[in-house]
Amino acid sequence: MMASLALTATILAGLTQVATAQSAVSRTCPSGSGICYSLSIPDQTAQSGNGSIFFQITGPTSHEWIGLGQGSGMAGANIFVAYLSADGTNVTVSPRLGVGHVEPEHSNGQGGQLKLLEGSGVANGVMTANVECTNCNSWSGGSMDFTSNNGMWIYASLSGTPIQSDDLNADISMHDVNGVFNWDFTAAKGGDALTNPFVASASNTPATTSSTTAIVSSEGVPNSYIIAHAVFACLAVAFVLPIGGILIRVANFPSAMWVHTGIQYLGLAMFIVAFGLGAYTASQEGYWSNRHPIIGTVVFALMLTQPLWGIIHHRRYKKVQGRTISSYFHLTVGRVVILLGIINGGLGLVLGGVGTGAKAGYGAAAGIMGLLYILAILYGENKRTKTRKLRSDSEGSHESGRKTGGDMKEHQQATGFESVK
C-alpha cells in the first residue's frame, strides 16, 4: 500500500513537472540593441480569449526607458513603459495609453492591470521586468484576440541616463528607436495562468524562440514632418481655400475670377503636400483606422475633382448663361471640402496630442474663418438672386437676346464659379 502511494506521488510530481515544462515563451529582439521582449499566453487565455498573459522586457540600463505596446501604432495602443525604480535595484512598469505621436501618459486604470513578478530586477547592467497582465485582451481604445495566431505589437526605447522613479506617471522623453512587429502567438501558447513562465522556463526548459516580422524605424517619423503636415493642412483648408471662396462672392473687380482660381490652386497644392506627409505618418504610425486620416483622405479625393468641375462649370455657364448640374456639384462639393476640412483639422490636433492653447487657437481662428465663409455664401446667393431679378426685369423691357459686357461681370461677381468652395 505504501509503495502504491509512493508511486502515485511520483507520478503526480512528474505530471506537475511536465505541466510546468509546457509553459511556452516566445522571445524576440527586434531592435538589435540588446533589448528583447518575451510573451507567454496560458492555455486558458488562448482558448477563451480572456485571462492573464505574461510578458517580459529586458534591456541594458543604458536606456532611459524601454517600452512595449499592443497595437499597430501609438494611437490607441496599450503601452507598457519600463524604467529603473527610485533605488535603482528594481524596475517600475507603467501602464500607459497611446493618444498619438506624443509621449503616452499613465492610463489611470483604463489600461493594463499589471503585476510585477519574481525574477524582475537589475543585474549586470541589464534590467528585467517579468509582468502579468490580467486584462490585456481589452483596454480603453482597443483590444487583442489571444485566440488568434498572431497580433501586432509596437516597441520603443530611448538611450541615455536611466530614469529612476517609482512614479507610474513619470515624465518620459521621445524615443530614438521604435517599430512595429507581428508576434507569432502559436509559439507563445501553453502552460497555466498560475505559473510564472519566465522563472519556470529558466529552471525547467529553455524559452521557445519564435521568428517575428519586425519593421524597424531608427527614429520614427520626424517631428518636422508632422509639424509641416499640420501647418500646410490647416493653412489650406482653414484659411487659403475659404479666402478664395469668400473673394469670388464679395469682390467687385474684373479679374476676381482669375484671382480666385489662383488662390484655390495654391490651396490645392498646399493640401497635396499636407496629404503626402499625413499619409506617410499614418502608414508609419498605424493611424489609418483613425477618423482623422480617413476623413482627410475623403477631403483630398473630393478636392482633386474640383479643378475639372470648375472648368466644366465655367464653360457651361458661358454657354447657357446659368448654372447647370456641374455647377451645383462643383459648389456643393467645394463647400463640403472646406467645412469638413476645418473640422478635420481639429481632429488632427486631438490625434497629435497638442496642448490646450494650440487647440483653442486653431478653434477660434478656424471658427471665425468658417463663419465668414458661410456668411459670404449667404451674401453671394442673395446677391445672385437680386441680380437675376434685375436682369429679368431689364430683359422684359428690352429686346430679347441683347447681351452686354455686364453679363460677364455679373457672372464673375455672382455665379459662384469656384475651384473649391
Note the pLDDT tens digit of each residue in 244-287.
Answer: 989 988 888 888 888 988 999 999 999 999 999 999 988 877 77
Q: pLDDT class for 374, splitting at 50, 70, 90?
A: very high
For CA atoms 100, 104, 108, 111, give the dihedral sign: positive
Q: What pLDDT does 329 receive? A: 80
pLDDT grade for 220, boundaries at 50, 70 and 90: low
Measured between alpha carbons, how far is residue 188 from residues 46, 81, 131, 148, 173 in Å? 9, 21, 15, 11, 31
Residue of 322 and 68 predicted with greater confidence: 68
At 416, is the pLDDT very low, low, confident or very high (cuts 50, 70, 90)? very low
To the nearest whole number, what is the mean pLDDT of the chain?
Answer: 81
Q: Which of 130, 158, 141 is CA-nearest to residue 67?
A: 158
Determine the pLDDT at residue 72: 81
Looking at the predicted structure, is the pLDDT value of residue 100 above 70?
A: no
Distance CA(346)–CA(159), nearest Å, equals 33
Report residue 1's pLDDT band, with 50, 70 and 90 as the boundaries: very low
For residue 138, which of 155, 151, 128 has the smallest C-alpha distance? 151
Q: Give the span between the Cα atoms of 173 and 86, in whole angstroms.
A: 18
C-alpha cell of 78? 496599450
* pLDDT digit string, tens, across residues 32-44: 779 999 999 999 9
At 65-89, the pLDDT tens digits run 999 999 888 878 899 999 999 999 9
DSSP assignment of 40-88, as one string? EB-HHHHHHS-S-EEEEEEEETTEEEEEEEESSSSTT-EEEEEEE-TTS
2-6, 34-38, 172-176, 194-198: least confident range: 2-6
383 vs 410: which has the higher pLDDT: 383
pLDDT range class, residue 188, cuts 50, 70, 90? very high
What whole-number distance in Å separates Cα of residue 65 and Cα of residue 86? Answer: 13
Question: Which residue is it, cell 446659368?
Answer: 322
| CA pair distance 251, 244, nearest whole angstrom | 10
- At residue 178, the pLDDT reads 82
pLDDT band at 359 (very low <50, low <70, confident <90, very high): confident
Of 108-122, 150-164, 218-232, least confident by mean pLDDT is 218-232
Would the pLDDT of 291 be above 50?
yes
> CB-based burial of residue 368 (10 Å sphere; 0-12 exposed, 13-18 middle, 19+ buried)?
exposed
Residues in the chain: 421
Among 216-220, 250-254, 370-374, the least confident range: 216-220
Query: pLDDT band for position 3 (50/70/90)?
Result: very low
Output the pLDDT for position 415.
Answer: 39
CB–CB of 421/248 below 8 Å?
yes
Residue bearing the bigger pLDDT, 229 or 181: 229
Question: What is the model's pLDDT at position 393?
Answer: 61
Q: How confident is the model at residue 331 (pLDDT cuts 50, 70, 90)?
A: confident
DSSP 346-411: HHHHHHHT--HHHHHHHHHHHHHHHHHHHHHHHHHHHHHHHHHHHHHHHHHHS-TT---HHHHHHH
Is the model more confident about 133 or about 202?
Answer: 133
User: CA 219, CA 176: separation in Å to the nearest integer?
Assistant: 5
DSSP letters for 237-284? IIIIHHHHHHHHHH--STTHHHHHHHHHHHHHHHHHHHHHHHHHHHHH
As a whole number of angstroms, the distance between CA 37 and CA 59 comes to 9
3-state secondary structure 295-337: HHHHHHHHHHHHHHHHHHHHHHHHHHCCCCHHHHHHHHHHHHH
Neighbours of 36 (CB within 10 A): 18
What is the distance between the alpha carbons of residues 233 and 63, in angstroms, rounded to a whole number? 36
What are the backbone angles phi and psi of residue 402, rounded to the nearest 5°? Answer: -70, 125
